[in-house]
Amino acid sequence: MANKGTIGILTGGGDVPGLNPAMRAITIRALREGYRVIGIRRGWAGLVECVPDPEADNTEAFRELTEDVVNRAGRTGGTFIHTSRTRPSHLPRTNLPPHLRDRYTDDVNDVTPDVLRNIEYLGIDYLIPIGGDDTLSYGYRLHTEGVKVVAIPKTMDNDVPGTDYCIGFGTCVTRTIELAHTLRTSAGSHERFLVIEVFGRYAGFSALLPTMAGAADRCVIPEHDFDIEHLAELLVYDRNRHPSKYSVVLVSEGAKIKGDDGMSFEGQEKDQYGHAKLGGIGDRVAARLKELSPRFNGGRRINVVNQRLGYLVRCGAPDALDSVVPMAFGNLALDIILGGGSGRLVNIHNGVYGSVPLDVIHGPHKVVDVHKYYNTERLRPSYKTFDSKPLFIMTSDL
Q: Which residues participate in catalysis according to the annotation?
A: 157
CB 306 within 8 A of CB 283: yes
CB 255 within 8 A of CB 218: no
Query: What are the residue ranges of helices labelled H in the chain?
Result: 19-32, 45-49, 67-73, 112-121, 133-144, 169-190, 205-212, 228-241, 281-296, 321-338, 370-373
Q: Using CA atoms in the order 40, 43, 49, 51, what is the torsion angle rounded to 10 degrees?
A: 20
Question: Would you call 40 helix, strand, or coil by DSSP?
Answer: strand
Biggest CA pair distance of the chain: 78
- What is the Cα Rg of the chain in Å? 23
Whether the CA torsion 208, 210, 216, 222 is positive or negative: it is: negative
CB 44 within 8 A of CB 162: no
Whether the CA torsion 136, 140, 142, 143 is positive or negative: it is: positive
